[in-house]
Amino acid sequence: MTKNDLIAKVQEALKVYSRKDAAYAVNIIFDSMVEALKRGERIEIRGFGNMTVRERKSRLGRNPKSGQAVKLESRKTPFFKTGKELRLKVDGK
């Protein structure tokens, strides 16, 4: 599912709102989630999953094309852990 598909589903479920309004709502939610992760906060959506930010330490990597060693700086990456309810639904249980 793409962002446009999600906007279409929201607009379909809430027919009184235009597609532009549905897109605005979806963008507000995504922007709020990004801002929370930037602040280092944890996002929990019950029955769906949790999103956190993990710190990756600097390390020595390799350029796959040349095999040359490359120093990778430390960085923060988002991490998603599925909730039990979502896992069970996907598994068909």
What pLDDT sits at residue 16? 96
User: At residue 25, does pLDDT exceed 90?
Assistant: yes
pTM of the model: 0.78
User: At residue 77, does pLDDT exceed 90?
Assistant: yes
Closest C-alpha among 87, 10, 67 to residue 2: 10
> b/e for 36-66, b at 16 or more Cβ within 10 A?
ebeeeeebeeeeebebebeeeeeeeeeeeee
Q: In this structure, are residues 76 and 44 in contact, taking their beta carbons and an 8 Å threshold?
A: no
Phi, psi of 52 (to 5 degrees): -135, 170
CATH superfamily assigned to domain 42-93: IHF-like DNA-binding proteins (4.10.520.10)
User: At residue 24, does pLDDT exceed 90?
Assistant: yes
Tens-place pLDDT, residues 29-75:
999 999 999 999 999 999 999 999 999 999 999 999 999 999 999 99
Closest C-alpha among 16, 13, 22 to residue 3: 22
What pLDDT sits at residue 93? 82
Q: Return d(Cα 73, Cα 56) in angstroms, integer.
A: 9
Q: Return d(Cα 59, Cα 67) in angstroms, integer.
A: 15
Q: Domain locations in the chain?
A: 1-40, 42-93
What pLDDT sits at residue 58? 96
